[in-house]
Amino acid sequence: MKKVIGWVRQNVLIVVFAAVILATLPAAAVVSVGWGKSIRQKQQAKADDMLRQVNGLRVSFALPPVSPGEPGVTLTAAPNPVLTDWFKTNKERIESQSAEVIKAAVEFNRRDHGPLINDLFPTPGKREMLPVRTLEFVDRIVGRPDRGIAGAYQRLFESAGAGPPADPQAVAEQIKALQARETERLLGTNPQRALTNEEQEEIAHRLVQARLATYQQSGRRLRFYGTPDAVDGRPSRLPDKPPGVAECFEWQWDYWLVADLLAAIRSANAADLAGNPVKRLESIVIVEPVVRRADSAFSVEPQGPTDPGPDPAAGLLEPLFLLSPSGRGAPNQLYDTRLARLRVVVSSARLPEFIDGLARTNFLTVTHLRLSEVDVWADLEQGYFYGPEHVVRAEFEIESLWLRAWTTPLMPKEIRDALGVPADAP
């Protein structure tokens, strides 16, 4: 015992520190347990909060509508790589298919349309060449008939298989010559005698048959009757002063529209005239010019600028049926509409064939149609032979669409401003 006490006295600090350690161990255990619990609670609360945030996170997935009037595909869900990949793949597929459809629509609408002359639209490369180019353009439309040079419209009608009926004067001369021959044949060796009633009826019958055969023969070389004179408002002479480039562009646009209408008739008319649905083109009237101006080479009235309409990026265009039965016609930035009135003599039973031909040719829609009777005998006296089918006179109002994707680069500034076409980005 004495030895222990002695050792303690000699090692007081060791004994004191040992006592302190032994005394603090229970307290440290108690503090440690409480501290660990507090940390765990804080960490648990933090983890729970983060979990709630993750569980509450929602992402919207969407696919655009495939066609107008149909809803798109939308989905709101938690982030999901599988969904992300699916929507991304299908969005790219829809955009690719949409681009192909747009390209096909533009090519269908453009057809083989191009300027009648180069270096004019939207403006000549050299400004000083503008008067020369515009006069050259009108000359191309009008032609030089005195020199045997056909104008653009004449060539257009010929390529569509259209032409005039047999020349009345030439037919009259042929019938007169036939009458003389028949009279001489029947009188024989006694030219001084009068023809009997039976002989006069025989000659009249032969003359009618001959006239009818001449008209039929003339019709066999045509798909339908029609000449450039049927086109109202086309330039038919060189103007007194060089026209502006914007006015030339309107004439070019008119020419494209007439070309589409003639192509539609040709599409429906696959045989000779007597076997075709459309027998005769009587008139084409383009309802109004794109821009009316006071300084026209042919003097028309001025017109103010046009509302550019909604931006196509804002969504589908709202149809306005008060403007047109098609719902189109309102100003917009995707396309322009032009109206034409077309009057034709057509087979009453085969009228739908021509309407189908319009749809096959371009974006041409019949918005109004009026039918009336045809005096076929009066027309026959003028050389128009329509064949055995019953015919009617059909007056169409036709709405044509022109996509700006291909027309805008050709538009002169005056046309662009009047139509509200946005300026090109710098």
In the numeric block, the tokens 């403006």 are attached to 123
**Residue 319 has what pLDDT?**
81
Q: Are 393 and 373 in contact (CB under 8 A)?
A: yes
Give, in order, the Cα–Cα distances in Å from 228 to each of 25, 153, 284.
116, 6, 9
Q: What's the pLDDT tens digit per position in 260-289?
A: 999 999 999 988 899 999 999 999 999 977
Task: Please report which confidence band the pLDDT of residue 208 belongs to, taking 50, 70 and 90 as the band edges.
Answer: confident
pTM assigned to the model: 0.79
Burial label, 92 (beta-carbon count in 10 A; 0-12, 13-18, 19+): exposed
Joined together, the tokens standing for residue 210 give: 């001959």
CB-based burial, 261-284: b 16+ in 10 Å, e otherwise: bbbbbbbbbeebbebbbbbbbeeb
Give the model's pLDDT for residue 259: 98
Q: Give the residue-averaged pLDDT of 223-243.
A: 94
Say which range, 61-70, 83-92, 291-300, has the weakest mean pLDDT. Answer: 291-300
Predicted local confidence at residue 23, as pLDDT: 60
What pLDDT, on a 0 to 100 scale, did the predictor assign at position 217? Answer: 86
